[in-house]
Amino acid sequence: MQIVFFSNHLPEDFSSRNSDIFPEPPEHCPFHDCSLPVKMKKHGFYSRNYISKGFTIVLYIRRYICPICGRTVSMLPSFCLQHFQYSCPDIVNMLYELYKNGIPLKTYVESIRGYFPAIERRHINYYKKRIVNNRKLIQYGLNLMSPEFTTLGKIPENQAWVKDLLEKVWEIQPSIFHFDFYNNTGKSFMTLQNIVA
């Protein structure tokens, strides 16, 4: 299980094993079928790649374990997305720029190669598709976050909806949006979901 938290530290600060920059261990086991009021314990770190504008680094992510059921949680800073190497702000920014400028994907990808040498069209297509496929979950989360987002849900066409969504996420700031969305839904907006909402 991942717990998303907001951090004012830079991603680079997570490139060494540093307990001090992570939240305290949960006081309860977060797994519902356990949830005993026993504080979780430190359980090492796992490493993951992190790609942002102009650099790739390894981040060390704190893990805690429940002493009762033995399951673990990882504490993920909100500038990271689970299962994605590219940073949350960069993924949102790429899509936002692409939609805003209305240029062909091939041209756009070539224009950002200087910052992201390994980026391919298929990455960006994948991000776009994930957001469209998650529309129900995302709109559900938006409705919980603020009543002003409910009008967004009335946009019939998916591409127009994505464009509006990206504008709003960019205004809020992607890391803050990711954190707020997680707090309201317990899920990441980019994690594959199948929900009926």
> Interface with Zn ion includes 68 (CB under 5 A)?
yes
Can you read off the two tokens belonging to residue 171? 């205004």
Nearer CB in complex with Zn ion: 73/138: 73
Q: Please give the torsion angle defined by the CA atoms of residues 138, 139, 142 and 148, in that order, rounded to the nearest 10 degrees.
A: 150
Q: Which of the ranges 41-49, 50-58, 63-71, 139-147 carries the binding residues for Zn ion, by CB under 5 A?
A: 63-71
Question: Shortest gap between Cβ of 26 and Zn ion (angstroms)?
Answer: 10
Nearer CB in complex with Zn ion: 17/39: 39
Return the residue of 66, 80, 98, 119 that touches Zn ion, per CB under 5 A. 66
> Interface with Zn ion includes 73 (CB under 5 A)?
no
Question: Shortest gap between Cβ of 25 and Zn ion (angstroms)?
Answer: 12
Give CA 157 to chain center in angstroms: 24
> Interface with Zn ion includes 1 (CB under 5 A)?
no
Residues 6+ apart with CB under 8 A from 172: 180
> Interface with Zn ion includes 34 (CB under 5 A)?
yes
Question: Shortest gap between Cβ of 68 and Zn ion (angstroms)?
Answer: 5
Angle at 37 between CA 34 and CA 42, to 5 degrees: 85
Radius of gyration of the chain (CA): 18
Residue 48 near residue 58 (C-beta atoms within 8 A) = yes
Can you read off the two tokens belonging to residue 43? 């359980």
Question: Shortest gap between Cβ of 31 and Zn ion (angstroms)?
Answer: 5
**Interacting residues toward Zn ion by CB under 5 A:** 29, 34, 66, 68-69
